[in-house]
């Protein structure tokens, strides 16, 4: 079975196939997947990813079975991840997994015969977020000959790791803006370097902002810091407001995977730059396209 664990797996052709199909779903295309069931195993909080997978599967005509919150599942009694997914594969045709540990989706995929979709593994990867991010970028700026700025918590931000890796498949310059302590992890920097991508790192937004087609802002991932003091040192930096964007191009697209804390002031919401709510909505057609494709490859039905 094909699993989707990392954005590194996604070729340009794969991305384009999913986005093209997503555009068909966005335009009203319908299929009937009555009887297909998607297992939702979320070991960490989620609003968008979980609800949009749930919506997507139901819009495809299928249904979902949800492990529910960790506190009301048998994880609370000490059941392992491996045992949990081995049980859920008997209930569902594919499993969407979010987990606080990096590598959890890889581990799960080694224990089951149904497709495993990584919906976020700690500070690792979040490849389905990347697909909806790319869909949003394509709609607003196109995917070639673009300059993308990615700002905030580049160390712990799994959406950043996945997006940066996927953008290497396109003709996209990438500027990374963060405090020194939250630079991209070494493994991601290595992959970007190996890909030959046009990548630069900065500690401030000012010099690079006027060049950008897309500015992707992220939350400082407080829950990943071992030391709360370290979090406090960087919290509140790397915010934008409508005033900041006066130096940007008129057609700059501002994105954010959400949830936001205070990185994007509410006055940006009223500008034409704001695309983060459309971005969240794009999760439904994109996940419909992904599920339709992955379930087609399954051999259980
Ligand atoms: N963007 C994202 O993954 O949001 P949730 O954590 O709400 O799923």
Same domain, 146 and 261: yes
Q: Are residues 97 and 150 in the same domain?
A: no
Instruction: Identify whether residues 224 and 100 lie together within a single domain.
Output: no
Residues of the chain with pLDDT under 70: 1, 298-301
Domain housing 46: 7-125+281-297
Which amino acid residue places its CA nearest to atom 4 of ligand 1? 48
Of 257, 275, 286, best ligand 1 pocket probe by most atoms within 8 Å of the beta carbon: 257
Task: Mark whether 146 and 273 lie in a shared domain.
Answer: yes
Task: Tell how far the Cα of 301 is from the centroid of ligand 1, in angstroms.
Answer: 30
Q: What is the mean pLDDT of the chain?
A: 96
Q: What is the pLDDT of residue 301?
A: 44
Nearest CA to ligand 1 atom 5: 46
pLDDT of residue 300: 47
Query: Is 104 found in the same domain as 216?
Result: no
In a domain, 65, yes or no: yes
Q: What is the CATH number of the domain that holds 206?
A: 3.40.50.1370
Query: What is the pLDDT at residue 178?
Result: 96
Specify if 1 maps to a domain: no
Separation of alpha carbons 166 and 18, rounded Å: 13
- ipTM exceeding 0.90? yes
Q: How far away, in angstroms, is 178 Cα from ligand 1 center?
A: 21
* Residue-wise pLDDT tens digits, 220-272: 988 889 888 888 888 877 999 999 999 999 999 999 999 999 999 999 999 99
CA–centroid distance, residue 212 to ligand 1 (Å): 25
Which residues are near ligand 1 (CB < 6 Å)?
46-49, 129, 257-259
pLDDT, position 298: 60
The number of distinct structural domains making up the chain is 2
* 202 and 94 within one domain: no
């Amino acid at each position: 079975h094909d699993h989707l664990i990392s954005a590194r797996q996604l070729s340009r052709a794969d991305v384009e196939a999913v986005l093209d199909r997503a555009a068909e779903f966005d335009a009203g295309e319908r299929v009937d997947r009555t009887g297909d069931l998607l297992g939702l195993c979320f070991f960490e909080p989620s609003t968008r990813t979980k609800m949009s997978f749930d919506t997507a599967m139901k819009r495809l005509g299928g249904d979902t079975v949800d492990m529910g919150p960790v506190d009301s599942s048998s994880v609370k009694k000490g059941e392992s991840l491996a045992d949990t997914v081995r049980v859920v594969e008997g209930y569902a045709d594919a499993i969407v997994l979010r987990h606080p540990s990096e590598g959890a989706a890889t581990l799960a995929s080694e224990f089951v015969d149904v497709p495993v979709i990584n919906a976020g593994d700690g500070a690792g990867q979040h490849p389905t977020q990347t697909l909806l991010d790319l869909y949003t970028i394509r709609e607003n700026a196109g995917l070639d000959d673009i300059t993308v700025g990615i700002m905030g918590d580049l160390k712990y931000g799994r959406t950043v790791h996945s997006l940066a890796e996927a953008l290497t498949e396109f003709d996209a310059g990438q500027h990374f803006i963060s405090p020194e302590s939250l630079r991209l992890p070494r493994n991601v920097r290595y992959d970007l370097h190996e890909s030959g991508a046009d990548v630069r790192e900065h500690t401030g937004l000012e010099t690079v902002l006027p060049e950008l087609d897309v500015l992707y802002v992220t939350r400082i991932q407080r829950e990943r810091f071992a030391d709360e003091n370290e979090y406090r040192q960087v919290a509140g930096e790397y915010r934008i407001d409508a005033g900041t964007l006066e130096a940007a191009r008129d057609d700059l697209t501002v994105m954010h995977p959400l949830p936001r804390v205070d990185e994007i002031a509410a006055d940006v919401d009223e500008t034409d730059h704001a695309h983060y709510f459309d971005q969240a909505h794009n999760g439904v057609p994109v996940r419909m396209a992904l599920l339709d494709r992955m379930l087609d490859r399954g051999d259980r039905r």
